[in-house]
Structure 1
Amino acid sequence: MAERFERHKQPWKPEELAKLRTLAAKGMALKAIAKALTRSEESVKQRAKEDGLKIARLR
């Protein structure tokens, strides 16, 4: 069973956005970023797209 996130539709805090940018710049994978931010992969992917960030894909 997939992990459940209890933070449904919570607004992004400035600290979370800064961490997202830092982790994306380091080339971390989507799954790792989502876990570090305790957000769903879909939420992280959507926010990165809104901010124009590239997230590394696992190869």
Structure 2
Amino acid sequence: MSDKTAKHKQPWKPEELQKLRTLADKGKGLKEIAKALNRTEESTKDAAKQHGMTIGKLR
């Protein structure tokens, strides 16, 4: 199984959300954050929105 499918529809762990917040606060773009977290851009964007985070560059 590849890393891409390993997290398919898996819940976000607290450490992943912390990393998402850290990267978003540093002004990283959606594509870069998703790649760093091994998540899809859509999942990353949804998690950020759900937890009140703003990602500066959405593309």
- Where on the TM-score scale, by shorter chain, does this alignment land: which range? 0.7 to 0.9
TM-score, normalised by the number of residues in structure 1: 0.86
Match of 1:27 in 2: 27
Letter in 2 for 1:8: H
Q: What runs of 5+ residues in structure 1 fail to find an aligned partner?
A: none
Asked if residue 51 in structure 1 is aligned to residue 55 in structure 2, the reply is: no
Runs of 4+ in 1 over 4 A off after TM superposition: none
* Superposed CA RMSD: 1.8
Residues 9-38 of structure 1: per-residue CA shift (max 9 Å, x gap): 001111101000000000000000000000
Unaligned runs of 5+ in 2: none
2:41 counterpart of 1:5: no
Q: Matched residue pairs, number?
A: 56
Which residue is equivalent to 2:18?
Answer: 18
Aligned-pair distance for 1:52? 1.1
- Identity, in percent, stands at 64
